[in-house]
Amino acid sequence: MQIHKIYFFFSFFLIIVLFSCNNEDPKEFKNKIPLKETWKKGGEFNADSAFKYIKKQVDFGPRVPQTNAHKKCGNWLVNKLTNFKLKVTEQIGEVVAFNGEKLPVRNIIAQLNPSSNIKVLLCAHWDTRPFADRDSININQPIIGANDGASGVGVLLELARVLSLDSLKLGIDFIFFDVEDYGAPSYNSSFFDLNSMNDTWCLGSQYWCYNLDKNYQKPKFGILLDMVGAKNAVFPKEEISRQYAGYYLNKIWKLGSYLGYGNYFKKKIAPPLTDDHTYINKLAQIPTLDIIHYDISPITNRYDFGRFHHTHQDNLEIIHKPTLKATGQTVLTYLYNI
């Protein structure tokens, strides 16, 4: 994920119109009085375990496609998910990068209770940025991606571990998308012609969407986790998520507040951005929301992904276990309330 993945900024008028047309359940707003929520207690998410999974990925080094670190990390993910007794498959293909280079894509898919009639999609990207185009030093060197990449994967792995030991009958497709962060670079933090540059990102999820098996049982909805590990993370209600998966987004944000994580799951509305969920919504037509750190920068007064984003500061030092706990526990508990 990167500052140039912002899908487009609406005009003031369009923002007002779209914000009034989300997918929230109208029953929740009857007489403008929210109904009282009753939540079932879910399993226990272990932030220490998630942190260890993040550290393991970081220890491999930058997970850039066509590198040894990328290959080793992918093999480790497959082995770990197999050890959780999940049904693991790999989608292997080829995509074309912004510079015309052909890149191998390796999407890793793990299924829990694949025969269940009700399925949910949980996803994150596992590759990292091949250059630090928002840094002031070593800008042509790849980043370690502790938050942008490893944090979402770490939370997913811990969710998979916990759920593999539980009796929950819900079907879950865990998908670890490849080649998400290979989009066109900008070395001056300026915006590209967004209409032409957007699709250079999220190549793994685009490949998955375009190559779905005709017999694939689509999940009821999906949750994307991206940059969910930094201290003081802010998860707003992002507009693409609101448009396509507003009902689920509002439920999860209410649950986050109920669990005491309202300082992360903010009620604020954020402009739309291009991330893996954009293509899952538009191409695969699976309602999918994005839990992502995305907040107003005090420096630029624009929405941004943190001062460390796409720099060499995106290392293990910025990962905060309370943030991992807030993210993982909220998602885990929601799965018990479907």
Q: Average pLDDT of 187-208?
A: 71
Q: Where is average pLDDT lowest: 155-159, 183-187, 194-198, 226-230? A: 194-198
CA distance linking residue 140 with residue 218, whole number of Å: 39
Looking at residue 133, what is its pLDDT?
Answer: 94
On average, the pLDDT of the chain sits at 89
Structure tokens at 297: 């920068």
119 pLDDT higher than 80: yes
| Contact between 97 and 103 (Cβ < 8 Å) | yes
3 pLDDT higher than 80: no
- Binning pLDDT at 50, 70 and 90, where does residue 170 land? very high
Rounded to the nearest 5 percent, the helix, strand and coil shares of the chain are 40, 20, 45
CA distance linking residue 56 with residue 232, whole number of Å: 23
263 pLDDT higher than 50: yes
Three-state DSSP state, 295: strand
Looking at residue 17, what is its pLDDT?
Answer: 38
194 pLDDT higher than 60: no
Looking at residue 1, what is its pLDDT?
Answer: 52
Looking at residue 2, what is its pLDDT?
Answer: 46
In order of their start, the domains of the chain are 3-335 (3.40.630.10)
Q: Average pLDDT of 156-178?
A: 97
Quick one: which of 54, 95, 121, 57 has its CA closest to 277?
Answer: 121
Give per-residue pLDDT as tens, 272-312: 999 999 999 999 999 999 999 999 888 888 889 999 999 99
Looking at residue 193, its amino acid is D
- Binning pLDDT at 50, 70 and 90, where does residue 28 land? very low
Residues 6+ apart with CB under 8 A from 6: 191, 194, 271, 272, 273, 274, 303
Quick one: which of 65, 3, 5 has its CA closest to 275?
Answer: 5
Quick one: which of 288, 161, 166 has its CA closest to 218?
Answer: 288
CA distance linking residue 114 with residue 241, whole number of Å: 25
With pLDDT > 70 as the criterion, what percentage of the chain qualifies? 86
- Binning pLDDT at 50, 70 and 90, where does residue 197 land? low
Give per-residue pLDDT as tens, 225-241: 999 999 999 999 999 99
165 pLDDT higher than 50: yes
Looking at residue 302, what is its pLDDT?
Answer: 86
Looking at residue 300, what is its pLDDT?
Answer: 81
The Cα angle at residue 54 between residues 53 and 57, in degrees rounded to 5: 90
